[in-house]
Structure 1
Amino acid sequence: MSFSTSFKRPVFPFTAIIGQKEMKLALLLNVIDPKIGGVIIMGDRGTGKSTTIRAVADLLPQILVIKDDPFNSNPNDYDLLSKEVSTNLSSNSLATELINVPMVDLPLGATEDRVCGTIDIEKALTEGVKSFEPGLLAKANRGILYVDEVNLLDDHLVDILLDAAASGWNTVEREGISVRHPSQFVLVGSGNPEEGELRPQLLDRFGMHAEIRTVKDPLLRVKIVEQRSSFDHNASVCLQNYHDAQLELKNKIVSAQNNLSKISIDYSLRVKISEICSELDVDGLRGDIVVNRSAKALAAYKNKVFVDINDIKEVIKPCLRHRLRKDPLETIDSGSKVDSVVDRLLY
């Protein structure tokens, strides 16, 4: 008996996930516009963080790649090809294929070589061949890189991930030999704040910050448990039940991605956003930029042409709450602080 190598483990449908609106919205906006800068999801254990992240990856349409290319290169985008791939592409036409959007898990114990990739120096010196073993940043190109317990990850590795996510490229250098390849991905981190916080400098580099809490309503908890049990008992039936809802959401995401460049935001609203950031004493301009991008992505998702005040109100808290300066003597939490300023200035 032989088993197909293409066997795909069933993924819990995104549209079947109950509650956790802020987390789901942050993930959807980041796949619509990856330039938002990723999302960090902090909350209680067992609240479906990993399940939701894998579910959103499963929603995305397949991508065209160069066959057997370790970087998932897009043959139609010459600006985002590694030197080796662009050389081969210019000399002959390469075979292409459609693949699912990569979803890469970064384990807590990963080393820098495992993340960035390694250069075989011995082979380079003896055979004169530049041999590169791709790492997780290569596999995650054009996909989602997920780091569970990101607050427990070594700060040096977090720096590497954030730099690659911001620049879209990964460079590996060793003994005078350098390899550079595209590494564009949506960075998603999750963790439990009780186990430690990220440094403020690193928190600020994530585009959005979603907070999730354990559902308290007993009836809702029962519904969540029943739904999960139903999926575990017969995944195919569960997936069939949500097939139409999944397809509708997939189409909405593709439409939003295609229409994103057409969305505009009025100058007066941009001034309001910057006014709020200034009032909250947000360092730098990253907060202003992320709120603008997120509001546009939300408007595209809602199939609109212009951003309105409600779009800004919906995205501004997860865009700014993690950028506020922490005052250990202050009793009001950062989310409530954002809400109070928004209610006063945005009407």
Structure 2
Amino acid sequence: MSTMIGASLYGGPILSDVQFRTERYGESDVFVKNHLPRLQKGGINVIVTPGESLRELELFIREVRRSEGRLELAKTATQARAIAERGGCACILAASFATLGDKLDSLPMLHELGVRLFTMAGNRRNYFVDGCTERGVSGLSHLGVDLVRLLEQLGIVIDVSHTSERGVSDIFEVTDKAVVVASHSNTRRICDTVRNVSDDQIKAFAQRGGMVGVSLHPTLVTDDDPSVDDVARHMQVMVELAGVDHVGLGTDFVDYAEDVFHHKIKAIDPTGALYGGVLHSYPRDVENIEKVGNIFSALGKMGFDAAAVRKMRGENILRVFERVS
């Protein structure tokens, strides 16, 4: 029997933690020592690893090369599956607006390194597009239009979590070929915040072959004492809207990186209006990545069969990357 794929479409600031601990404390093999055991306990063997800078990507690639096969970079879904089959952790590189600055020159090189997902925004305005909390919200800039076209040309999945509603609409207008996802967002129908995605957006992702990766950040799950059942309910609603082939996990845990995350949260949510100071209190029964299996148990209790659960556990994420491999 083939290996069960457990995947996350957005692994959170793990590479920031790698850089922080490497450069601040002189630690080595941060991912293998601190993160890999937790991923293994949670049944995660394929993870999208976002890097916000070339330095983060550089340090991580060095660690992968030292890991003796425990970590391997995957440029294709086929490679990711093969790595998981032989017991390794497949890492799919991602980059973002922060990686590029105000120029597109390095994007082809990033693709050559293995970057297969690009996050357009981080709540606030950047050179390419407005984030979802920006004042006087706009959409893509001229440079952002060029970016979207280049992402389509290279075959890189476009991630619109954190992107303004108009920005998402602009992306769909500029490209009808690129795969578009929300890598770590939930449904506004249950939790009405600008960081989550609308019914129409969820349907549009599915129509283009994309998906939504459900976030476990508590402020995106529910306003009142979130639990694993609430996370599963977000997935259930998305399945009703888009079909079971277009829903998965985008875990985005930050419980391991308090120093790093406090710095980041001040940059992306300076007033506390969006995240409200809630940092590490994750939903009950899925407080950390070791417990993500509880989400799929909850889905089973809701009536989803084994085949549907297997898709949402990881197969859907591999299907998305098959489209750009």
TM > 0.5 fold call: no
Compare the two structures and name the one with the higher strand fraction: 1
Determine which structure has the larger helix proportion and give its number.
1
Larger radius of gyration between Structure 1 and Structure 2:
1
| Normalised TM-score (structure 2) | 0.29
Q: Which has the higher contact order (CA 8 A, sep 6+)?
A: 1
